[in-house]
């Protein structure tokens, strides 16, 4: 782990790592960056004459894209489809269809104000977008909540403890259960074995890699051959961190972290 409080220092350090630890000619360097803007900036920095002179044989991607690629390599494309029922765009239209009846059945005032007196469905669509955005965030950051709700537990996990959901927020867990039921009832039989959400994909991935202690699961050796570096690593969903942590136990990944407390770039073993 390399810490620094100036991007330029981390950039120079990355160039030094490239020069001092070159990979075989046909093996690409994988660089994980936090944004597309950072990707472009780093490509220009590496291509500078004072650095590498050219930016080639490098694959820059977002940490979430890299982790998703690991999921598909380990679990297989049949289990991890390109599109899933709980992807945000698909979730919006599923919610649009289910919200009116749900709001009336459970008498959720916060939802009823959107779905009543709305003949064209515009307010309902806006509501579906907002709720889909919340559930999409839960899939990334609070998959543990969704897992409990799917099992009928109206609780919130925090710092290892489960606490009851406030009464005025129970509708979120009930709506998630309804979404799960709707997917199971309406999906094609041949899709029953596929993962339905990103949270489910992550759970299956971690279960499989933890069972393969002796050797990496089939698919991961493709990543083993490439050099992996993370540039300007910052906040990321816990599930991504968990997947990356598992890899770090088996492959050296160099993290260049922006925000070190020391004035100079340092290396922490």
Query: 48-69 pLDDT, tens per residue?
Result: 877 778 877 787 877 777 777 7
In terms of residue numbers, what domain contains 27? Answer: 2-78+203-267
100 and 180 co-located in one domain: yes
pLDDT score of 219 more than 70: no
Q: Is residue 168 part of a domain?
A: yes
β-pairing, 161-164 with 254-258? unpaired
Q: Of 193, 218, 253, which residue is a domain's last?
A: 193
Q: Is residue 198 part of a domain?
A: no
CA separation for the pair 63, 135 (Å, rounded): 21
Residue 264's pLDDT band, with cuts at 50, 70 and 90, is: very low
Q: Of 172, 193, 214, which residue is a domain's last?
A: 193
Residue 32: how many CB atoms within 10 A of its CB?
A: 27
32 and 98 co-located in one domain: no
- Average pLDDT in the 94-102 region? 94
Residue 193's pLDDT band, with cuts at 50, 70 and 90, is: low
Q: Which residues pair with 61 in a beta bridge?
A: 32
Question: Which pair of tokens denotes residue 93?
Answer: 């239209």
37 and 95 co-located in one domain: no
> Looking at beta carbons, which pairs linking 238-245 to residues 24 or more positions away fall under 8 Å?
238/141, 239/67, 239/140, 239/143, 239/198, 239/199, 239/202, 240/63, 240/64, 240/67, 242/202, 242/206, 243/67, 243/70, 243/71, 243/202, 243/205, 243/206, 244/63, 244/67
132 and 222 co-located in one domain: no
**102-111, 170-179, 180-189: segment of lowest average pLDDT:** 180-189
Residue 227's pLDDT is 57
130 and 181 co-located in one domain: yes
Q: Of 167, 193, 219, which residue is a domain's last?
A: 193
Residue 229's pLDDT is 62
pLDDT digits (tens, 9 = 90+) for 116-173: 888 888 999 999 999 999 998 888 778 889 889 999 999 998 888 899 999 999 999 9
Residue 127's pLDDT is 94
- Average pLDDT in the 10-27 region? 78
183 and 141 co-located in one domain: yes
CA separation for the pair 243, 245 (Å, rounded): 5
164 neighbors 33 (Cβ within 8 angstroms): no
Q: What is the mean pLDDT of the chain?
A: 78
238 neighbors 197 (Cβ within 8 angstroms): no
Q: Which residues contact 189 (CB under 8 A, 6 or more apart)?
A: none
Q: Is residue 83 part of a domain?
A: no
Residue 103's pLDDT band, with cuts at 50, 70 and 90, is: very high
Residue of higher predicted confidence among 20 and 268: 20
3-class DSSP state for residue 160?
coil
pLDDT score of 113 more than 70: yes
HSE toward the beta carbon, residue 71, CA cutoff 13 A: 26
Q: Which residues contact 110 (CB under 8 A, 6 or more apart)?
A: 171
User: How many domains, the chain?
Assistant: 2
pLDDT digits (tens, 9 = 90+) for 223-251: 545 556 666 555 566 667 777 776 665 66
List the strands of the sheet with 29-32, edge to edge: 58-61, 29-32, 227-231, 254-258, 2-4, 266-267
Residue 8's pLDDT is 80
The CATH number covering residue 49 comes to 3.40.50.10930
**Global confidence as pTM:** 0.62
Nearest to 91 by CA among 196, 188, 167, 191: 196
217 and 144 co-located in one domain: no
Residue 215's pLDDT is 59
188 and 210 co-located in one domain: no
pLDDT score of 262 more than 50: no
189 and 94 co-located in one domain: yes
The CATH number covering residue 164 comes to 1.10.10.160
Residue 139's pLDDT is 82
Instruction: Please report where in the chains the tokens 């936090």 appear, as a residue.
Output: 34
Residue 267's pLDDT is 33
- Average pLDDT in the 182-196 region? 72
């Amino acid at each position: 782990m390399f810490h620094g409080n100036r991007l330029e220092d981390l950039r120079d350090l990355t160039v030094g790592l490239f020069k001092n630890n070159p990979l075989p000619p046909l093996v690409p360097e994988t660089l994980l960056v936090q944004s597309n803007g950072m990707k472009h900036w780093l490509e220009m920095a590496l291509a500078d004459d004072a650095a590498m002179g050219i930016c080639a044989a490098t694959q820059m991607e977002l940490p979430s894209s890299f982790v998703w690629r690991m999921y598909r390599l380990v679990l297989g494309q049949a289990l991890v489809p390109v599109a899933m029922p709980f992807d945000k765009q698909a979730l919006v239209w599923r919610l649009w269809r289910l919200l009116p009846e749900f709001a009336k059945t459970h008498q959720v005032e916060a939802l009823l104000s959107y779905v009543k007196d709305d003949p064209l469905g515009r307010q309902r669509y806006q509501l579906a977008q907002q709720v889909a955005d919340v559930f999409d965030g839960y899939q990334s950051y609070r998959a543990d909540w969704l897992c409990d709700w799917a099992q009928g537990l109206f609780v919130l996990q925090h710092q290892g403890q489960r606490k009851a959901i406030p009464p005025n927020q129970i509708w979120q867990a009930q709506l998630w259960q309804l979404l799960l039921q709707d997917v199971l009832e309406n999906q094609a039989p041949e899709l029953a074995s596929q993962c339905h959400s990103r949270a489910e994909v992550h759970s299956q991935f971690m279960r499989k890699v933890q069972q393969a202690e002796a050797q990496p699961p089939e698919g991961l050796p493709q990543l083993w051959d490439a050099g992996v570096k993370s540039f300007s690593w910052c906040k990321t969903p816990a599930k991504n961190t968990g997947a990356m942590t598992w890899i770090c136990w088996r492959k050296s990944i160099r993290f260049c972290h922006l925000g070190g407390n020391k004035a100079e770039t340092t290396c922490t073993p």
